[in-house]
Amino acid sequence: MSRRTRKAEAFSLSFLDCICCGFGAIILLFIVSMGVQATEIVKLQRVLENTVMQKQLMLADYQIRKDELDVHLDLQKTKRKKKDAERNTLEALIAKLRQQISDKEKAKELFITDLESIKEELAAFQTEPEIEQKVIKPMPIGVPVESNYIAFVIDTSGSMRESSTNRINPHVVRKFEEVVLSYPEVKGIQLLDASGHFIMGSRMGGKWLQDSPEMREAMVRQVLLYPYESESNPVPGIRRAIRTLYDPNVEEFHFGVYVFGDEFTGKPEPVLQEIRKLNKDKDGNRIARINAIGFPNVIHNGAMILQNSGVKFAKLMHDLTYEHGGAFIGMNRDNLDHIDRNESDRYPLPPPPPPSRGGGVIIRFP
């Protein structure tokens, strides 16, 4: 009996069993390993979440600190700007003060130089009176008298008044009286204060007053009792007298201006130029002869006060009267003190109350 040869197969049942078991084992291992990895992943996730949370907290803290630093930086910038502005202001102030100090030093040098010059001129300006006024008839204290129209300009400021009564100083009234009463008869007469206000006849539009002994006596009394304080500068009065009282249509018009004052605070050159132009008619002839009498009310024993205003007045009047054909008389302090003592009881009547408006008052005669 013949044996059958059995043909061998590559994939038998046992081989498939082995393969299936191997795959099963692999799957089992994979499943087991997947459980372990999931646990590790969860742990790792938690660690990462904690790390992220910590970093976020740190970031928030850093942001808060940054904001604080920004605020502090802005505050420091504001303080820096404020300090820079203060420094610039102080530097500008220091520069201004240095300039002022420099200007003061230059002014001081010029003042010292001018003071020495003025001291030299003062000795020439402050002279003794020519002669006793009562002896001079009909000529008043050595000034030209050919004028037939005369205007008096009186400084009625505080320095020309008594401090106790506020009246014009007796020596000023006395000298004015000597000039007025001893002057020859004229065609017209007028009286102004240094500011240019008419002391008498203001409502007449600044016209000439008729000369008479009664009018002259009234003028003397009105000067004594005049209640208004004028400027310490006779230039406005001189200017008003020439402009208002000059009449080119009057024949034989010989105009004289007499200034009574004690101080001047301006610069003489502009005044001299102004009066030089003003005191000429259309033909270039002089309109008014200007005379002046100076009182040393603001000069005591050679001392300079009020910025040398007394000496400036003397110098201005000296030059002004010289240019305009007149004369300047400087009074002596000792003689004036003697007059004040002797004249203190004259005109005992109280000064009249000032009217509601400025300027002079009208004197009426019966």
200 and 230 both lie in a single domain? yes
In a domain, residue 35? The reply is: yes
Q: Are residues 121 and 227 in the same domain?
A: no
Predicted local confidence at residue 117, as pLDDT: 65
- What's residue 322's pLDDT? 93
Token reading at 315: 């110098």
Specify whether 88 is located in the same domain as 234.
no
Q: Is 90 part of any domain? A: yes
Q: Is residue 15 assigned to a domain?
A: no
Domain encompassing residue 167: 133-343
Residues 332 and 196 in one domain: yes
In a domain, 93, yes or no: yes
Are 143 and 119 within one domain?
no
Estimate the crossing angle of helix 170-182 against helix 333-343, to 10 degrees.
Answer: 90
Question: In the prediction, which pLDDT does 362 show?
Answer: 38
Do 118 and 139 fall into the same domain?
no
Instruction: Report the domain count for the chain.
Output: 2
pLDDT of residue 357: 45
Q: Do 53 and 107 fall into the same domain?
A: yes
Give residue 278's pLDDT.
94
In-domain check, residue 316: yes
Residue 23 lies in a domain: no
**The predicted structure's pLDDT at residue 148:** 86
Q: Name the domain boundary from 91, 125, 159.
A: 125
SS3 140: coil
Instruction: Supply 86's token pair.
Output: 């203060």
Same domain, 87 and 141: no
Same domain, 110 and 85: yes
The span from the CA of 293 to the CA of 126, in Å, is: 11
pLDDT, tens digit (0-9, with 9 covering 90-100), for 256-293: 999 999 889 888 999 999 999 999 998 899 999 999 99
Assign residue 238 the CATH number of its domain.
Answer: 3.40.50.410
| In-domain check, residue 362 | no
Q: What pLDDT is recorded for position 37?
A: 67
Residue 365 pLDDT: 34
323 shares a domain with 287: yes
pLDDT, tens digit only, all 366 positions of the chain: 555 555 555 556 677 777 778 777 787 777 777 666 677 777 888 888 888 888 888 998 899 999 999 999 999 999 999 999 999 999 999 998 998 898 888 877 777 776 666 666 665 555 544 434 333 344 445 555 567 899 999 999 988 988 888 888 888 998 999 888 888 888 999 999 999 999 987 777 678 999 999 999 999 999 988 999 998 889 999 999 999 999 888 888 999 999 999 889 888 999 999 999 999 998 899 999 999 999 887 765 444 444 578 888 989 999 999 999 999 998 877 677 667 666 656 655 444 445 544 444 333 333
- Based on the domain organization, do 203 and 89 belong to the same domain? no
pLDDT of residue 109: 77
**Phi, psi for 151 (deg, rounded to 5):** -125, 135
Residue 99 lies in a domain: yes
pTM, full prediction:
0.56
* Same domain for 244 and 294: yes
Cβ contacts of residue 176 below 8 Å, gap of 6+? 152, 154, 219, 220, 223, 260
